Structure 1
Amino acid sequence: MTVGVDDFKKAMQLWASGVTVVTTHSEKFGIQGMTVTAFSSVSINPPQILVCLNESADTGTGIKQSQHFAVNILNSTQQDVSNQFAGGSSQQQRFENTPWTAGITGAPILNNSLMSLECKVIEEVRAGTHWIIIGEVQDCVCREGEPLLYYRGNYQQLMSQP
């Protein structure tokens, strides 16, 4: 017997995670992006990461077409960016008030994010309602700041040490 959906959601809310915006650019769909908390490193040599995207996400369709994406880790002041890319608005609206530049793969790099990783897709694995997309890191940009965190359905920030 498996755990029920509600129990699983409740359990997963106890996992604190960073907040990212995954972006891509494809010939067919243009620029696209979405908020994602399911992100992890996979390998250091070669440098690889993974993101998990719902099968219905249009950004995932763009990634499959372009075979490139960027993971932008949001800083503690970017809660509005997370909300903007979480849905409810068009792809055009998501990028209108968020400064970005095209990275080496063409994927949008959010200018004010804490860190950005540009990747080429090396594997896609279907898992339930999601795709696990594994990417090999092609470029990395790091900036100063603190991360935006998500825990128990709310945004959180790191506490400063005295």
Structure 2
Amino acid sequence: MGQTMSEASISVAATSDAFDFRAFRRALGHFATGVAVVTARAENGEVVGMTMSSFNSVSLDPPLVLFSVARSALSLPAMLAARGYGVNVLGRDQEDLSNRFSKAMGDKWSDVDHVNGHEDAPLLAGAIAHFECAPYAHHDGGDHVIFLARVVRFSNDEEGDPLVFFRGRYRGLATDLPSA
């Protein structure tokens, strides 16, 4: 039989006195996430967007979501100053958009079909859900800044399948599990 939970948990941590950040990152990759592109319009009118899997719901009342941005991200100043955000949950057929917005430089917006949402934050065509948000709070998150955003409008596609990220690769949903 396999390792017990305590044996598996100890196996990586006990190998060294130094914290192994690469092993930690690999372990985090075992938590499957959806993929979103968070967008905003900077004060100078430039549009920014970045791929992330750090999108979560926080509260229903008030309606709050969160995402986090690396302190090293070139778009961080624009995101901190933005008056609105678009959270675009990508569908299974949108790997190309995820890859495009995961890059730090380049013309991410060339030929990207979108409309303007709350405070002109871009909403990407074909996303399976859109959340139009207003800034609510920013918090220290170590090497990231945690953004809390208040949802002002949302829409979703009941038919679309999500783009999933697991163990460093894109995945899709194979089948639904039977109800208990």
Q: Which residue pairs with 1:65 in the alignment?
A: 81
CA distance in 1, matches of 2:71, 2:122: 21
Residue 111 of structure 2 is aligned with which of 77, 86, 97?
97
SS of the counterpart of 1:96?
coil
**Conserved? CA contact 1:24–1:59, under 8 Å:** no
TM-score (norm 1): 0.92
Q: Does the C-alpha gap of structure 1 residues 161 and 127 become closer, same or farther in structure 2, counting only changes over 3 Å?
A: closer
Alignment of 1:122-161 (within 5 A): 122-143=136-157, 144-161=159-176
Per-residue deviation, 1:6: 1.3
- Structure 1: which 5+ runs fail to align? none
Residue 90 of structure 2 is aligned with which of 53, 71, 74?
74
**Conserved? CA contact 1:68–1:118, under 8 Å:** yes
Per-residue deviation, 1:29: 5.4
CA distance in 1, matches of 2:145, 2:176: 38
Moved more, 136-145 or 43-52: 136-145
CA distance in 2, matches of 1:161, 1:45: 30
Alignment of 1:37-76 (within 5 A): 37-76=53-92
TM-score (norm 2): 0.83
**Conserved? CA contact 1:68–1:105, under 8 Å:** yes
- Give the number of the structure whose alpha-carbon radius of gyration is greater: 2
Deviation >4 Å, runs of 4+: none
Q: Deviation string for 1:31-64 (max 9, x for gaps)? A: 0001000110000111100001101213322121
Q: Tell me the matched-pair count.
A: 160
Residue 28 of structure 2 is aligned with which of 4, 9, 12?
12
Q: What is the CA RMSD across the aligned residues, in angstroms?
A: 1.7
Moved more, 61-70 or 106-115: 61-70
Structure possessing the higher relative contact order (Cα contacts under 8 Å, 6 or more residues apart): 1
SS of the counterpart of 1:155?
strand
Q: Does the C-alpha gap of structure 1 residues 15 and 26 become closer, same or farther in structure 2, counting only changes over 3 Å?
A: same
Q: Deviation string for 1:122-149 (max 9, x for gaps)? A: 1100111100000000110212300000
CA distance in 2, matches of 1:56, 1:11: 22
- Greater per-residue strand proportion: 1
Per-residue deviation, 1:21: 0.3
Q: Does the C-alpha gap of structure 1 residues 29 and 58 become closer, same or farther in structure 2, counting only changes over 3 Å?
A: farther
Moved more, 56-65 or 152-161: 56-65
